[in-house]
Amino acid sequence: MHNDNRPLSPHLFIYRPQLTAMLSIIHRGTGAALSGGALLLVIWLLALAASPEAYALTMELLGHWLGLLVLLGITWMGAYHFCNGIRHLVWDTGRCLELSAVYRGGWLVIVMSMILTGLLWGIAFAAMEGS
Amino acid sequence: MRSYQSGVNRALGLGSAKNGFIAWWRQRVSAVLLIPLLAWLGIGLALQAGADFESARAWVGSPINSVLMIATLAVLLFHTAVGLQVIIEDYVETEGLKAASIVLTHFVCFLLTIAGSLAVVRIALGS
């Protein structure tokens, strides 16, 4: 039964943003956005299977600064979802569930996502230098 | 597969009212499989940055890489479908629309798996 005349429980927006909640929201957000990354992988494979021209066009679009920005976004989101996913798997075993461990893991995921992004782009730049 | 419900809960009929457990389990299994697969894909694709047509085809089409790529596509898009389903279940309230969105999501992911896998097969066979 709906009744407007009821006290509201505290809304999400009343709370000061907390690391734990933010990371959880980002995990879902990156997961949804990474669907686009999976789509892009399929498009890249289709272009590679189609013709040298289709592949060249795809690589040209990805090489544009906007394309590079999208790739950088996918790399970081992928790295984050990867690291935080492992954090979730650790939790599923019943470990690291104390509040201090949850925060430590959260900061570790943030740092690791950036390190992994840097590593992958380092490999990519080194590969481009070499080719 | 062993049940994660305790014996008492099973006897009392507690736990998920519908099919919650299997979706949760599939998400975890695909997540674990994706750890090595995505490590391979991430490093592999980074090494292909700026690669020309021939060398990219040679990389994707190699016997090991083509198998790993198809496996990655299958598990990645399965994980995507299961994850998007959870989001749909959380935010779409109308039952009909919810069911339709979930079926459509799974079907699109299935189509992408087939399309990507066929592309890999064509590259591997050099056609």
Q: What is the pLDDT along chain B (127 residues), one digit of tens a residue?
A: 556 666 677 667 666 666 677 888 999 999 999 999 999 999 999 999 989 999 999 999 999 999 999 999 999 999 999 999 999 999 999 999 999 999 999 999 999 999 999 999 999 998 7
The reply to whether B72 falls in a domain is yes
- Domains contained in chain B, number: 1
Query: B50–A41: do the CB atoms touch at under 8 Å?
Result: no
Is the pTM higher than 0.80?
A: yes
Interface contact A45, partner B, CB < 8 A: yes
Query: A88–B31: do the CB atoms touch at under 8 Å?
Result: yes
d(CA A35, CA B38): 14
The reply to whether B12 falls in a domain is no
The reply to whether B26 falls in a domain is yes
Query: A82–B73: do the CB atoms touch at under 8 Å?
Result: no
Q: Which domain holds residue B36?
A: 19-125
The reply to whether B9 falls in a domain is no
Interface contact B112, partner A, CB < 8 A: yes
User: What are the residues whose beta carbons fall under 8 Å from the beta carbon of B120, sequence distance 6 or more?
Assistant: A45, A49, B60, B61, B66, B69, B70, B73
CATH classification of the domain holding B97? 1.20.1300.10
Considering CB atoms only, which of B51, B53, B123 is closest to A131?
B51
**Phi and psi, residue B2, nearest 5°:** -80, 150
The reply to whether B24 falls in a domain is yes
How close A35 comes to chain B (CA, Å)? 6
Q: How many Cβ atoms are within 10 Å of B89's Cβ, its own excluded?
A: 14
The reply to whether B117 falls in a domain is yes
